[in-house]
Amino acid sequence: MIAIIDYGMGNLRSVQKAFEKVGFEALVTSDPKVVLEAERIVLPGVGAFRDCIRNLEEGGFIEPILQVIREGRPFLGICLGLQLLFTESEEFGLHRGLDVIPGRVLRFPDGMKEGSEELKVPHMGWNQLSIKRRPPALAGIPDGSNFYFVHSYYVKPDDPSVVATTTDYGGDFCSAIWKDNIFATQFHPEKSQEKGLAILKNFGEMK
């Protein structure tokens, strides 16, 4: 069973429906005990970093999340669910994250350009992945595939070896990380059509 953590932020039903579409039972849960019993964990999220960390703490999810990661169960972070894994975020001041992946969450700078065109923040829409390391979740995904993004902040790991993919938006940023049983994406697989569904299917098959 796949547990999708419901801490009051994000369109969790779209993630659940995407898993169901590729043949996996996925349960949206606000119960930390269910998270501890699940075979695979998904941490999605949209919104402000500080609010999400507060909601995770108030919901009693911090230790269960850290425990399932320590135990080596497959863990998928999506969008803010990637950022929350990091040490700290500069969104609305400095806020401490889960510190599973050492590094920071930074805002795209104003005034970024592509040629003569000024790039907007948030980064929103389809963009390509450059695959640096291929985790099981990216099996069969061609390098250069397009995925859907919506974000104003990006992650900067201290250890570049955890970077699975990068994406170019005013320069390369880390768009997915992979470390042991953890795979997390800045893009939204559930909004990325066939290739996004393929990633969720690959995750559902991970041991």
Model confidence, pTM: 0.96
Query: CATH number, domain at 62?
Result: 3.40.50.880
Question: Hey, what amino acid is at 184?
Answer: A
Q: Residues 42-59: pLDDT tens digits?
A: 999 888 899 999 999 999
Q: Residues 21-32: pLDDT tens digits?
A: 999 999 999 999
Take residue 1 and report the two structure tokens written for it: 């069973």
Domain boundaries, position 186: 2-204
* Positions marked catalytic: 79, 188, 190
CB distance 76 to 40 below 8 Å: yes
Q: How many domains does the chain have?
A: 1
Number of other CB atoms surrounding residue 134 within 10 Å:
14
